[in-house]
Chain A
Amino acid sequence: MSIARDLLQWTVIVCLGYVVAVYGAYGSMIAYSMIEERLRRRRRVFESLDRIRASSLTIPVSIIAPVYNEAPIVAQSTRSFVEIDYPEYEVIVVNDGSTDDTLAVLEREFDLEPIEHFYRRRYESGPIRGLYRSRTHPKLIVIDKVNGGKADSLNCGLNLARYRYVCGVDGDTILSRSCLLNGMRLALSDPQRIVGVTGHIAISGRPEDALDENGEPAKLDQRAFLAFQHSDYLRSFFNNRLGWTRLNTMLCAVGAFQIWRSDVIEEIGGFSTTYTCEDIELTFRVHEHFRREGREYEIVSLPDTVGVTEGPDTLRKLIAQRERWQRVILETVVSYRRMMFRRRYGAVGFVGVPFFILSEVIAPVFELLALVALAASVAVQALDVEQALLTLAALALMNGLMTSAAVLLEDRTSRAYPLGDLVRLILLGPLDLVIYRPFIVWARLKGTWRYLRGDQGWHKFERNARPAT
């Protein structure tokens, strides 16, 4: 009995140590994020997007949007792509062998006509069945290809992309009208050095309804389930990615909005089809490549909300999505573990990768361990119920603090959402631990298990239901 109690005691101590380490890491990253946000805000106060918009010197961009079975939203998302406010860009929508009406919707909504177009096969990709150009929106090209996955579709789009920068987006994402102006504003300031840009993506059950009349995100989904996901995204973008940008260790450009210099993508051989998901792996690869060669570069995260993506509106879909993310993180971090604590990889090796391991890779194990240890401690009366509840309350408030910090950073940048929505997010912060987090822990454990079993499937969930029109 005494050995069991000792074991339990040590488990609790280890878990406490983990909690202190992980919240310490989060706290430090928030501090860096605040510095970065302040610097960006100070520059923005004086900048005018109007002058960038009016300039003939902006760098053109090719938007590549892979779509697979996105019929319910593809018309709205593609419309948001072709209505972006930017001097020169093209939109390449890649229909990745959808089995629903995706292509038919595109043909109907954008008046597509077949074209004969020869392109360079710089990257391997699945066979193309047809190429189309829109009669109503000349900047829109649609590729219809055999199913090969998202990375394969992005590579296919890259083969047709004409411009120096490419922007990979998700087919279920509604982009804000100013997303490229905001993104390329940074790239323009130093095109030699800035090789990648990403931005904050908001969450909504129906992203097509989340923008205001100016095409900017302004409405939060009022459902608590979606609000939890929104605050999760806020924390991930504003508390972490801005801090990573400050340290030049931005390790995950989000798939829903990732701008890359096309020569850099070409140099490293395009998107990898051997991983479950392409975005985080590509970001790691760019870091690895540039650091190994000792070249100057920067991958930055914008403090601006550049679009709204569809968040799962049921628990089953959410768990499917998050377990996939966990697998992707594990695949990538394990693949690039050689970067850790190697001087050649600088901040990426000493801060970025260890931060990922601490906060993502081993987190589900410790989260489960902590839960079991807490329950067992109460059961064997090593911990009384009051103390257990106080511990939970402290952890809940830590989560609340992190959510509030993210809301503060977001609001200082955009001032987009009504005050009531901000208060709601803040109040939901401490509840996250007991209502939302357990499902995420479960999803992460499931993802870890599936990773160990070698699962590399996408397990795409159905689109959220929409009222018939």
Chain B
Amino acid sequence: MVPTWLTLGTTVVLLVLWLALAAWVVGARLAHDRLIRLRRRDAGLLVGGADPQRWSRRRLWRTADGDWVPGTDVAARELVSRDGSRLRRVANGRGDRRSHALRVLTRGGSPFSFRLLRSALDSEHAEVRSAIVAIAAEQQTQSADDLLLQILVEGSHPRSRTATELTPRARRLVSHLIDLTDHTEPEVRYWALMLLRNTPDKPGTRAAAVRCSTDPSGTVRSAAARVLGATHAADVQHVLRPLLTDEIFFVRSHAARAVGEIGAAGLAGDVAALLADTSWWVRAAAKESLFLLGDDGLEAATEMLQDEDGFARDGAREVVSAFRRESQPLELVG
């Protein structure tokens, strides 16, 4: 049916392909393990004071372009001083090598690096833009801060990811973030506020949140409520009260939580009323909040035990039972 030579030929070709692929797997793994071993050794040598000037380009590249470890920057600086113009050419080019060249240039402190990173933001490839954010996030410099903020505002990379990288530097960017709470785009205002949650004690944060609590966008108002909760300031009760009856459920939910966080006992009744809210998220937040409010929360929940709404009664029972459970260890100690 099928000539033997064809079956035999196919089998031999498949055997050769299988052996080649097996060799690829083994070779790639051995090369990777060797690279990691050498990179670790060389980085250790540089930290120990070895002179990189006598090292080959290949060896320097190997050390400069991996996960960041102490010694990486020394190799990158030497590479930039020795090979800067070629690296810049590659960094202006295309493909995978571009991102790696950008990383080495940035780690090596090239004065052109941030200009090159900015121009690379126009790349159509999402992985290049993703690399730029990660490269900038490695650097604790003003230029890196500015670039990351620019990316956040332009939205050239998913804002949630850029904001994640900006989180550890939020404290030193407070004034910029406060400015961004006035930005025309609601998403930018939202992320600025979310980052400001990390700086509740900084001057201006609370004022920005108060201002944004009347924002036309619901997501921005909800972020404002979260910032207000993080401030733990009792004098923002009047700002939170209208948010508890906001038309959007997640604004009410975050406002309810914020009431608990700031310990606004005066709003315990308003929060207890939310146990009868139509949204589960709001009811859940109200329960948490009442628990955080302590005795005032317990009192408000107890009053709701007789409410005509079934959800409110159940929620109130849950809060009261949580208080009872929480108090048990104290009783035992007593």
CA distance A401 to B20 in the complex (A): 10
Contact A419 B18 (CB under 8 A): no
A190 at the interface (CB under 8 A from B): yes
Judged by a CB distance under 8 angstroms, whether B270 is at the interface is: no
B333 at the interface (CB under 8 A from A): no
B18 touches A404 (CB 8 A): yes
Interface check B50, CB cutoff 8 A: no
Q: Which of B37-45, B158-166, B210-218, B289-297 contacts A (4 or more CB under 8 A)?
A: B158-166
Residues of B within 8 A of A189 (CB): 130, 158, 160-161
Minimum C-beta distance from A118 to chain B (A) = 4
Question: Residue A104 at the B interface, CB < 8 A?
Answer: no
Are the CB atoms of A387 and B14 closer together than 8 Å? no
The answer on a CB contact under 8 Å between B1 and A382 is: yes
Q: How far is the CA of A397 from the CA of B21 in the complex (A)?
A: 11
Residue A9 is within 8 A (CB to CB) of chain B in the complex: yes
Check if A404 sits within 8 Å of B127, measured CB to CB. Answer: no
Q: How far is the CB of B311 from chain A (nearest CB, A)?
A: 8
Q: Tell me whether B47 is interfacial, beta carbon within 8 Å.
A: no
Residues of A within 8 A of B14 (CB): 394, 397-398, 401
Question: Is residue B4 contacting chain A, with contact meaning CB distance below 8 A?
Answer: yes
A398 to B, closest residue via Cβ: B14
Identify which of A47, A116, A394 contacts B318 (C-beta below 8 A): A116
Beta-carbon nearest neighbor of A394 in chain B: B11
Is B96 an interface residue when CB atoms closer than 8 A count as contact?
A: yes
Q: A42-B99, A47-B130, A401-B18 are in contact. Are A411 and B164 (CB under 8 A)?
A: no
With both beta carbons as reference points, the residue of chain A lying nearest to B170 in the complex is identified as A56
Of the listed stretches A272-280, A423-431, A461-469, chain B binds A423-431
Given that A46-B131, A400-B18 are known contacts, is A55 also in contact with B25, CB under 8 Å in the complex? no
Contact with B198, one of A52, A56, A116, A390 (Cβ below 8 angstroms): A56
A224 to B133, CA, bound (A): 45
Q: Given A43-B127, A115-B325, A423 and B1 touching (CB < 8 A)? A: no
Instruction: Enumerate chain B residues within 8 angstroms of A116, measured Cβ to Cβ.
Output: 317-318, 321-322
Question: Which residues of A lie under 8 Å from residue B330 when comparing CB positions?
Answer: none
Residues of A within 8 A of B96 (CB): 42
Report the minimum CB–CB distance from A170 to chain B (whole Å): 27
B202 at the binding interface (Cβ < 8 Å):
no
Q: Tell me whether A108 is interfacial, beta carbon within 8 Å.
A: no
Cross-chain contact B1 with A422 (CB below 8 angstroms)? no
Closest to B137 in A: A51
- Count of chain B residues with a beta carbon within 8 Å of a chain A beta carbon: 53
State A412–B168 Cα separation when bound (angstroms): 31
Given contacts A190-B158, A397-B15, A415-B29, contact A404 B164 (CB under 8 A): no
Whether, in the assembled complex, B207 has its beta carbon less than 8 Å from a beta carbon of chain A, the answer is: no
Q: Are A411 and B29 in contact (CB under 8 A)?
A: yes
- Contact of A118 with B315 in the complex, beta carbons under 8 Å: yes
Convert A1-38 into 0s and 1s, putting 1 for each residue whose CB lies closer than 8 angstroms to a CB of B. 00000000100110010000000000000000000000
- Is B317 in contact with A118, judged by CB distance below 8 angstroms? yes
A residues in contact with B332, CB < 8 Å: none
Residue from B11, B24, B167, B284 with most neighbouring chain A CB atoms (10 Å): B11
**Which residues of chain A are within 8 angstroms of B30 by Cβ–Cβ distance?**
419
- A391–B2 alpha-carbon span in the complex (Å): 10
Give the complex CA separation of A391 and B3 in angstroms.
Answer: 11
Within 8 A of B (CB), among A398-437: 398, 400-401, 404-405, 407-408, 411-412, 415, 419, 422-423, 426, 429-430
Residue of B nearest to A408 (CB): B25
B69 located at the interface, meaning its Cβ lies under 8 Å from any Cβ of chain A in the complex: no
Inter-chain contact B164/A51, CB cutoff 8 Å: yes
B322 / chain A contacts, CB cutoff of 8 Å: 115-116
User: What is the CB-to-nearest-CB distance from B155 to chain A, in angstroms, rounded to a whole number?
Assistant: 12
Shortest A181–chain B CB gap in Å is 11
Q: Which residue of A lies closest to B133 (CB)?
A: A46
Q: Is the CB of B130 within 8 A of A404?
A: no
CA distance A426 to B137 in the complex (A): 40
Q: Which residues of B contact A382 (CB under 8 A)?
A: 1
Asked if A214 is at the interface of the complex by the 8 Å CB criterion, the answer is: no
User: With contacts A46-B99, A56-B197, A415-B32 known, is A383 near B1, CB below 8 A?
Assistant: yes
- Residues of chain A lying within 8 A (CB to CB) of residue B32: 415
Min C-beta distance of A370 to chain B, whole Å = 13
Instruction: Give the residues in chain A near B194, CB-CB below 8 Å.
Output: 57
> With A56-B198, A382-B1, A401-B17 as given contacts, are A113 and B325 in contact (CB-CB < 8 Å)?
yes
In the complex, chain B residues whose CB is within 8 Å of the CB of A54: 167-168
Is A43 within 8 A of B18, CB to CB? no
| Contacting pair A422 B137 (CB below 8 A) | no
Residue in B11, B137, B315 whose beta carbon sits within 8 Å of that of A390 in the complex: B11
Asked whether, in the complex, the Cβ of B315 is within 8 Å of the Cβ of A412, the reply is no
Q: In the complex, A64→B218 CA distance in Å?
A: 30
Q: Are B2 and A387 in contact (CB under 8 A)?
A: yes
How far does the alpha carbon of A379 sit from the alpha carbon of B34 in the complex, in Å? 54
A410 to chain B, nearest CB (A): 10
Asked whether B8 lies within 8 Å of A390 as measured between CB atoms, the reply is: yes
Cβ of B307 under 8 Å from chain A? no
Greatest chain B CB density within 10 A among A51, A118, A411, A415 is at A118
In the complex, chain A residues whose CB is within 8 Å of the CB of B314? 118
Report the minimum CB–CB distance from A47 to chain B (whole Å).
6
Does chain B have a CB within 8 A of A136?
Answer: no
B23 smallest CB distance to A (angstroms): 10
Nearest B-chain residue to A53, judged by Cβ: B164
Does any Cβ of B come within 8 Å of A346's Cβ?
A: no
Residue in contact with B134 in the complex, picked from A48, A115, A405, A412, CB distance below 8 Å: A48
Q: Is the CB of A387 within 8 A of B134?
A: no
Chain B residues near A387 (CB, 8 Å)? 2, 4, 7
In the complex, which residues of chain A have a beta carbon less than 8 angstroms from the beta carbon of B22?
A: 404, 423, 426
A237 to chain B, nearest CB (A): 16
Cβ of B26: which chain A residues have Cβ within 8 Å of it?
419, 422-423
B 46-65 binary contact with A (CB < 8 Å = 1; else 0):
00000000000000000000
Q: Please tell me if A393 contacts chain B, counting CB pairs below 8 Å.
A: yes
Pick 7 A–B contacts, CB within 8 A, sort by A: A39-B127, A48-B137, A116-B317, A116-B322, A383-B1, A394-B10, A400-B18
Residues of B at the A interface (CB closer than 8 Å) are: 1-2, 4, 7-8, 10-11, 14-15, 17-18, 21-22, 24-26, 28-30, 32-33, 96, 99, 103, 126-127, 130-131, 134-135, 137, 158, 160-161, 163-165, 167-168, 194-195, 197-198, 280, 284, 311, 314-315, 317-318, 321-322, 325
User: Sorted from nearest, which 4 A-B pairs have the closest CB atoms?
Assistant: A46-B134, A397-B14, A116-B321, A118-B314
Q: What 5 additional pairs, Cβ within 8 angstroms, besides A42-B96, A51-B167, A116-B317?
A: A55-B167, A118-B317, A190-B160, A386-B4, A390-B11
